[in-house]
Amino acid sequence: MPQALLRSPGSTILAAAARLRQRNLLDRLLNWYIDSVRSHFALHGLRAIKSPDIPGIMSDPISIGNSVRRVLSTLCDALHHYMFPISFLYAENSNKEDMLARIRFRHSLNAMIDIALSDHEFQLMAHLLVEHQLAACGRNEEQQIVDREEDEPKRLAFLTGIRQQIDILGVQDRMERIVADVYHTFIPRYVSRQYARIWEQEERQESLMVELKDLIYGPISRCIATLIRRDELLEARLFELATESLVKLGIKEAFDMVIYFPDSIPALEYLKMCLRTQEHRAQLVTAFQNACHARLLHCGANTSDIISFYMSTIKVFRLLEPRGVLLDKVSRPIRRYLRDREDTVKCIVYGMLEVEDANTGDLSELGKELAAASGAQNADAVDDNDYFNMNWVPDPVDAAPDFRNKRSSDFIGSLLSLYDNKEVFVKEIVVVLANRLLELKNYEIDREMMHLELLKLLFGESDLHNSDVMVKDILESKRVDSNIHDPTTVAPGTYPVAGIVHASMLSRLFWPAFRDEDLVLPPVIEEQLNRYSAKFSILKSARKLTWLKRLGTVDVTLELEDRTLDFTVSPDRASMIYLFQDKPTYTLNELMARLNLDEAMTRRALGFWIKNDVLKEDETCKDKYILLERAEERKKKMLLDDAAESSVQTAEEKATEEMRIYWSYVNGMLTNIPALPIDRIQSFLKMLIPKEVGYSRSVDELRDFLTVMVAEEKLEFVSGSYRLKK
């Protein structure tokens, strides 16, 4: 309805209006008019706004912008149209009643416009329009500033148009609300899109702030100020919002920064600068803990990975906050989880002793740390009882009640404090050390001695006393062995021992328990061992060697028809392959009988030779094995990589033994008391198992154990209680 079509009323109409005014009936006319305007608007105006030819919210930014403008201009036209008669009825700048009447009419119009603009689709379009405008100010995905110089005036002109319509319609408030809504979501999103995972370059962190400031004080502020009333605090508020978003981004990315440490140091420095409020600290802790639970502390992660992540966490949070309060908080779930893992101790000990093992992963960093840490003991410890320390500050208010300023920058100390006593580590160290010493071929124990000395600094002399004896045994063995091989000492009537046989004499009481199964060695070797024993008895009168035939290593050279292979293997494997020298096929049972091995060991040894393509299982006959004189086409065999097998009773086996004891208690308990909840079982075990055996499992460990028993159908779990399965 173009304005030109509106015609001024004729004189009769004006006279009629004047008459009504005299009789005070003008109000009724106005009421009638408002009613007709309402029904007219509802009939025609709303339809014009919602007409189907308006492109939907899914279209491109330009058509959305045009649609918004079109809706607004339709409303503007309607407003003009409806206001027109009023200007004749009530002159401007007239008396008070006329003013009030005009205002009344305007109010009812405003209400109609408001209803029209509340339309959901229009709201969305307006939001999108503003968002597109803001997005046009920043960088897009290609990291280019979209807003070229010549574009900006065009966009601003467009916005000015909208601004004018808004002013006419008197809906600035509504627009302000939309704009505020948009920038509150837009800026965090923009920041996290543009600056996510940028941690490395130091300058980047600096320039980032400058860039953001330029953007906010420049194009964005111009754009917003065109659209709504200007507010002096606008830029400051926007900038605050942006920095806040950056901190939030840093908090969200803390987990990744730990993974990429030390490459992420610049970003961490920046995060440290921004972490000022308690709220941020709390957010950081929660976000980090959640990320840990979701991404790290589950059974899919290797223990060694968790440990090395923990070490990075220590470094990162020490950097963020040297006091260690945050570290204390974030590391609690990790520590709790590590405590529950079975192979944690093993991984740590392997790491410290720099043992390479496929299952425990590479934690040799720990070994280096061990060497480094021993030099600088307690260098940075803060003693709270040092009353002369003028730089003392209290712990931050968010410190946990049981927070202790541990020297948590030292990983070894943190890892050792995972468990209440160091006993578990000492046990494992002795086992690992024993294995290592037994694997030695030339009595070279320098490396082990160095490790042992370092470990002594950590655990104290007394706990590792046994290991001292072990090392000394090897040293002594070296001497005795060279004596035995000395040709000048051959007694008349005896044969010299072949140079290939070397033995270690172990003081049984000081070594961990050995598996005491026997093994049948090839007669040639037995003969050599007997000579060795005889010579030993001469050297050390009244002492006799007891051979542990399962221990040690054998260098084997296999000369087959088409190839020669060298291996270093355990005695049982060597003895097995020696048997094949006489006859090319054996059955499993024959092998077990000839070697005096149990089935599991035999199969494992067979697996080794099969994997190395020396033996194969007969395809026609199960459990029959053939020597491969000629190498066959290598088949893809999915044989499990056999874990380095320990000849010493491992800590794990000890745990199994303990569990056997606990099971007989649980069994006895439930035989006599029909059903018990887990808490009662736990307190029974705690109370009733004598101290010498000891019960130190947590409820969770017990629950795991009972769950296994339920799975084995020994127990059943009924309404919160465990009972024996009948």
Partner 1 sequence: MDSQNTAPAAFSSHKMQDAPAAMIDSHSVTKRLQSELMQLMMSNVPGISAFPISDSNLCQWTGTISGPEGTYYEGLTYKISMTFPPNYPYHAPVIRFVSPMWHPNVDMSGNICLDILKEKWSAVYNVQTILLSLQSLLGEPNNASPLNAQAADLWDGNPAEYKKLMMTHYKDIDEINDQ
- Check residue 686 for interaction with partner 1 (CB under 8 A): yes
- Check residue 674 for interaction with partner 1 (CB under 8 A): yes
Q: Which is nearer to partner 1, 236 or 673 (CB)?
A: 673
Secondary structure of residue 656 in the 3-state scheme? helix
Query: How far apart, in whole angstroms, are the C-alpha atoms of residue 720 and residue 718?
Result: 6
User: CA nearest 50: which of 19, 75, 21, 14?
Assistant: 75
Dmax over CA atoms of the chain, in Å, equals: 155
Secondary structure of residue 667 in the 3-state scheme? helix
Distance of closest approach, residue 667 Cβ to partner 1, in angstroms: 8
Q: Which residues contact 295 (CB under 8 A, 6 or more apart)?
A: 255
Task: Scan residues 632-661 and list those touching partner 1 (CB under 8 A).
Answer: 661
Distance of closest approach, residue 463 Cβ to partner 1, in angstroms: 27
* Binds partner 1 (CB under 8 A): choice among 201, 207, 683, 698: 683
- Check residue 707 for interaction with partner 1 (CB under 8 A): no
Q: Which is nearer to partner 1, 489 or 696 (CB)?
A: 696
Q: Which is nearer to partner 1, 263 or 657 (CB)?
A: 657
* Binds partner 1 (CB under 8 A): choice among 442, 672, 711, 718: 672
Query: For partner 1, which stretch binds (CB under 8 A), given 60-68, 370-378, 583-591, 673-681?
Result: 673-681
Query: For partner 1, which stretch binds (CB under 8 A), given 160-168, 342-350, 595-603, 683-691?
Result: 683-691
Please give the size of the binding site for partner 1, defined by CB under 8 A. 19
- Check residue 671 for interaction with partner 1 (CB under 8 A): yes
Question: Residues 651-660, buried b or exposed e (16+ Cβ, 10 A)?
Answer: beeeeeebee
- Check residue 693 for interaction with partner 1 (CB under 8 A): yes
- With 0-12 / 13-18 / 19 or more C-beta atoms within 10 angstroms meaning exposed / middle / buried, residue 419 is middle
Query: How far apart, in whole angstroms, are the C-alpha atoms of residue 420 and residue 423?
Result: 9
Query: For partner 1, which stretch binds (CB under 8 A), given 203-211, 315-323, 408-416, 682-690?
Result: 682-690
* Binds partner 1 (CB under 8 A): choice among 689, 705, 716, 721: 689
Q: Which is nearer to partner 1, 538 or 673 (CB)?
A: 673
Structure tokens, 66 = 């045009």
Q: Which is nearer to partner 1, 510 or 684 (CB)?
A: 684
Query: For partner 1, which stretch binds (CB under 8 A), given 109-117, 361-369, 635-643, 681-689?
Result: 681-689
Structure tokens, 546 = 């007891």
* Binds partner 1 (CB under 8 A): choice among 265, 282, 669, 678: 669
Q: Please, what is the Cα angle at 655 between 309 and 424, to 5 degrees?
A: 55
* Binds partner 1 (CB under 8 A): choice among 664, 711, 712, 713: 664
Distance of closest approach, residue 542 Cβ to partner 1, in angstroms: 38
Which helix (DSSP H) or strand (DSSP E) does residue 672 occupy? helix 651-672
Pairing of strands 721-724, 715-718: antiparallel
Distance of closest approach, residue 488 Cβ to partner 1, in angstroms: 56
Three-state SS annotation for 26-92: HHHHHHHHHHHHHHHHHHHHHHHHCCCCCCCCCCCHHHHHHHHHHHHHHHHHHHHHHHHHHHHHCCC
- Position 133, amino acid: Q
- Check residue 15 for interaction with partner 1 (CB under 8 A): no
Query: For partner 1, which stretch binds (CB under 8 A), given 14-22, 149-157, 174-182, 684-692?
Result: 684-692
Q: Are 385 and 288 in contact (CB under 8 A)?
A: no
- Check residue 699 for interaction with partner 1 (CB under 8 A): no
- Check residue 99 for interaction with partner 1 (CB under 8 A): no
Q: Which x/- pattern over 404-443 shows residues binding partner 1 (rule: CB under 8 A)?
A: ----------------------------------------
The dihedral over CA atoms of 273, 276, 278, 281, expressed in degrees to the nearest 10, equals -10
- Check residue 673 for interaction with partner 1 (CB under 8 A): yes
Secondary structure of residue 20 in the 3-state scheme? helix
* Binds partner 1 (CB under 8 A): choice among 459, 665, 705, 717: 665
Q: Which residues contact 482 (CB under 8 A, 6 or more apart)?
A: none
**DSSP structure string for 482-505:** HHHT-GGGPPTTSPPPPTT-----
Distance of closest approach, residue 688 Cβ to partner 1, in angstroms: 6
> Which value, in Å, is the radius of gyration of the alpha carbons in the chain?
43
* Binds partner 1 (CB under 8 A): choice among 687, 711, 712, 719: 687
- Check residue 718 for interaction with partner 1 (CB under 8 A): no
Q: Which is nearer to partner 1, 56 or 668 (CB)?
A: 668
Catalog residues that contact partner 1 under the rule CB under 8 A. 661, 664-665, 667-669, 671-674, 680, 683-684, 686-690, 693
